[in-house]
Amino acid sequence: MHILHCDLDAFFASVEQRDHPELKGKPVVIGAPPNSRGVVSTCSYEARQYGIRSAMPSSQAYRLCPQAVFLPPDMKRYQEESRKVFNILAEYTPVIEALSIDEAFLDLSGSHSIWGSSMAIGHHIRHRVKSELGLNISVGISTNKFLAKLATNLCKPDGIMEFTDQMVVDLLPTLSVDNLWGIGSVSAQRLNHSGIYTVQDLLDAPEQLITSLLGSNTGFILGLAKGIDNRPVTPYEETKSIGNEITFPKNVSDSLAIEQVLLRLSEKVAYRLRRAQLKSHTITVKLRTPDFHTLSRSKTCPTAVNDSRSIFDVARMLYQQSGQEGKPLRLVGLTAGRLQGSEYEQLSLFANSGPDISSVIDRLNQKYTSGTIIPASLLDNHERNQ
Residue 14, CB-side half-sphere exposure with 13 Å CA sphere: 18
Which DSSP category does 325 fall into? T
* Helix then strand then coil, % of the chain, to nearest 5: 45, 25, 30
For residue 101, give Cα distances in angstroms to 9, 50, 98. 12, 25, 7
Q: How far apart are CA 126 and CA 137, in angstroms?
A: 6
User: Nearest CA to 45 among 158, 161, 185?
Assistant: 158
The SS3 assignment for 140 reads strand
81 is catalytic: no
Buried b (16+ CB within 10 A) or exposed e, 288-298: beeeeeeeebe
Q: How far apart are CA 351 and CA 359, in angstroms?
A: 15
Active-site choice (46, 81, 97, 103) = 103
Cα 143 from chain centroid (whole Å): 25
Which residues are catalytic, by number? 103
